[in-house]
Chain A
């Protein structure tokens, strides 16, 4: 018996599941670094978040939305990992559950599931927690390499938090003593959220995703590049350490946001032109929030704000059609 079907008679073997699985693989180095520096607490937060996201997706699809099970497409796992990466390791686990609920149920399933949500689900969860529990969300355990069971780690400040408290009167020696070295920032030996500290681990993930053709370089490059360019320019003009471009790209959530969250398929523009505009605007907003708002960090807000503009960007930034008059 022979089949009849329409062309093409060949398809790529990359599907939704394999793409999401590749994102999970790309996220693993950051998890490893997080656990190495923040110990068993970090591991618990990650596991709770992933289990909760997958669990909520399964339960709500089955009993509330009456849809087929979509946990197997790995997208809930990605959301779970990203949410955990955006939390400090000392956060109470019940708060992680609240965040996971907001992320998966409110941020994703209520919109209609994967592909239909407007805002990045992990960021919806994180920002909800950030606004609801500001104290727990901004106490940062100090990184302590390979002290897995040290549950009462001291808290310290994030690099961006230190920058925020510098003003004209702060002495240079004080600043130098407080700020971590570039090397520490690069490998992740700094205070911060579980998954955001190590630029190295995140860049490894980026390289993997580029190699597997999961994403293209445009959004990470333009996002990080914009932050680097603006702060670099201000740093060149003023010489102020608060504008140091390397500190800005190596600390805070920029790498995590630019590589893994601004590139989320569903909540980023479709065309390359649109993606570049989206990434540049994310960069500008990030710098503005970091330097001029009450918050030391602005990546989550910047991406969420730009998520809201995606339909507009998609409408006006369409690709150039071949053979149309330029």
Chain B
């Protein structure tokens, strides 16, 4: 095994709480109704193609990508479209959603449901990109950036390294971990597909140290594949941040305000790569994903294969319901996830976890005066000075904040995690970004 790599600036070591590392992915089943948002990605909402009363099958196109930066949305169940209207989502904002009454599990005939692994790639680069586009694949690590856009490298830029992000540095989450253990070979074939369209032979699967099983499985599989290798990274948050991972693996830095391609890299989450495999080799659109249901207040934590649009409340019920000690429900991880405004909100393409957290973990502590310990600056993986940003924002000195490079902030939350005075530094950074964008 080669050297364990990591990023040089900052980082923190929160408790891992990987309770569900050893629980296999099981199918969560079909709820009575699914709510499928037409915008589960960065970019324009998809154009709705169905109307109430339409019959749909699993994989039926419900909404069509509107423009380049957008993504198709497919049905995840078979049944009847009940409503097409705005409903409150996980963030409390109303979003256009397609409500489908579930009547069965009938698939579109074009989808290959066999479990055989297809190893030969008979398609041209254009066909592959078209298939990824038609499957509505977006970055499943949390960003939700449409994958076809990300994989189309702009003219004049050369990508020489494909990085598969299997880090999953958020506490509690094990969805990617389990996917690597159970669907390792499919992920490696997915990497081969991406290698092919990039015209390179250099895919690196980055996995952090605390996933020994995934490392073992993938190291074994990659021995028989040319151009796909495993790289072990240190367990440190935010190792899975795109910029941090690029620096850890290649030693390069993505210039401020530029894309990973400017550092010669393309980073894809392993979940996304698995979806690419299924889209290309099995004609399967993105209508389901792995979700970790966990948390210290969760009575039956598990990893589920969940149909997109399944209400969070359905999954919570499966995992033992909302226990009395639950203080909040979080979509995503505890570091970057969002508090649920509405527990009936649906699981989307970018929901990697659903957490039930007690006050022991999630309580906000009383805020005190800054003691100038400098721990926030030490922890910031971007080399920013959160204490300064916080101080300037409190004084409403927006012009001064501009010099603090706050637009480079990746919102990982290390500063707010580490602050011994419990100052909400991340909130100040986010506020600063909003104010600066307003001024432009």
Q: Which A residues lie at the B interface, using CB under 8 A? A: 2-12, 14-16, 18-19, 73, 75, 113-116, 216, 265-266, 268-272, 275, 318-325
Q: List 7 A-B contacts (CB under 8 A).
A: A2-B327, A9-B337, A15-B421, A265-B374, A266-B372, A271-B374, A322-B243
Partner of B417, one of A4, A10, A114, A325: A10
- B337 contacts A7, C-beta separation under 8 Å: yes
A contact face: mostly helix, strand, loop, or mixed: loop
Contacts of A270 in B (CB 8 A): 372, 374, 377, 385, 387
- Determine if A16 and B378 form an interchain contact, defined as CB atoms under 8 angstroms apart: no
Q: Are A325 and B255 in touch, CB under 8 angstroms? A: yes
| A16 CA to B380 CA, complexed, in Å | 19
Closest to B91 in A: A4
Contact B420 A266 (CB under 8 A): no
CB-nearest residue of chain B relative to A114?
B371
Residues of B within 8 Å of A265, CB to CB, are 371-374
Decide if B382 touches A11 in the complex (CB within 8 Å): no
CB neighbours of B258 from chain A (8 A): 323
Give the Cβ gap from B363 to chain A, nearest Cβ, in Å: 8
Once bound together, how far apart are the Cα atoms of A275 and B330, in whole Å?
39
A14, B247: Cα distance in complex, Å: 29
Q: Does B3 contact A (CB under 8 A)?
A: no
Question: Quick one: which of B368-415 are within 8 Å of A by CB?
Answer: 368-374, 377-378, 380-385, 387, 405, 408, 411, 413
- Determine if A320 and B383 form an interchain contact, defined as CB atoms under 8 angstroms apart: yes
In whole angstroms, how far apart are the Cα atoms of A75 and B371 in the complex? 10
Contacts A2-B343, A7-B426, A319-B384 supplied; 7 other A-B pairs, CB < 8 Å: A4-B92, A7-B337, A9-B337, A11-B422, A75-B371, A321-B384, A323-B253
A15-B422, A116-B369, A270-B377 known; A5-B339 Cβ under 8 A:
yes
Task: Report the Cα distance A84→B424, complex, angstroms.
Answer: 36
Which B residues lie within 8 Å of A319 (CB)?
377, 380, 383-385
Expressed in whole angstroms, the Cα–Cα distance for A75 and B253 within the complex equals 41
Interface residue? B328 (CB, 8 A)? yes
Chain A residue numbers with a CB within 8 Å of B422 are 11, 15
Q: State whether A15 touches B365 (Cβ < 8 A).
A: yes
User: Nearest CB to that of B257 among chain A residues?
Assistant: A323
Does the CB pair A216–B253 fall under 8 Å? Answer: no
| Complex interface bits, B309-337 against A, C-beta within 8 A gives 1, otherwise 0 | 00000000000001000111110001111
> 5 tightest A-B contacts by CB?
A8-B413, A323-B256, A270-B374, A265-B373, A9-B334
Interface centre among A16, A75, A320 (most CB of B within 10 A): A16
Known: A11-B416, A321-B384. A6 touches B424 (CB 8 A): yes
Q: Which residues of B contact A12 (CB under 8 A)?
A: 12, 14, 417-418, 420
